[in-house]
Chain A
């Protein structure tokens, strides 16, 4: 169990640029989640995958956000035309079907939009 890995750890970008984050879940976990966390707040749900299928999306996920999980392994979260309000910690978590309620979180990607 190598844990959930997220890259990069930090990303600084200028407003209007596109950014992409990667998440590698625990290998046997078929459920993958993306959350966003801002300072002083708890994680907010963005989207959920079961294997390669994206089954739920939050209304927080505007048209500028897209997530993929090709082949049901790693996942990417892309933000197009970044805005200053996108600055946050982006968290990835995974879990197994047999123990779906135990989320394993990565350390997150901290995005700063200047």
Chain B
């Protein structure tokens, strides 16, 4: 079945450091890929998405590129801030499958940015 695997945390970085959180997926067909973020005390919210191969999603300085050849969707940011401290979830949905309304989430990666 469809699934997502993301790197385990927690990740601790100093402010202005470079961030990479790895995510790989298993799916048939052409899934859409997402990064969701959960800030402390808040619900999950969409950070960025990509719906087809080679698409790059971007938002708030974060980027991720849909790589079909490596089945990956790694999250990157060039210079993290303290306000980026949160839990990041990679996710996919496969609209053309018979479970097309289900989103599959990774286990989440906790990021702490220290001043």
Which residues of A pack against B, CB within 8 Å?
A: 3-4, 31, 33, 40-45, 48, 50, 55-56, 58, 91, 93, 101-108
Roughly how many angstroms separate A50 CA and B101 CA in the complex, as a whole number? 10
Distance of B100 from chain A, by nearest CB (Å): 9
Roughly how many angstroms separate A30 CA and B90 CA in the complex, as a whole number? 24
**B34 cross-chain contacts in A, Cβ below 8 A:** 101
CB < 8 Å A-B pair total: 56
Check if B71 is an interface residue, CB within 8 A of chain A: no
Interface flags, B43-67, vs A, CB<8A=1, else 0 = 1111001010000000000000000
When the two chains form their complex, are residues A42 and B105 in contact, meaning their CB atoms are under 8 A apart? yes
**B104 cross-chain contacts in A, Cβ below 8 A:** 45
Closest to A4 in B: B43
Roughly how many angstroms separate A112 CA and B94 CA in the complex, as a whole number? 32
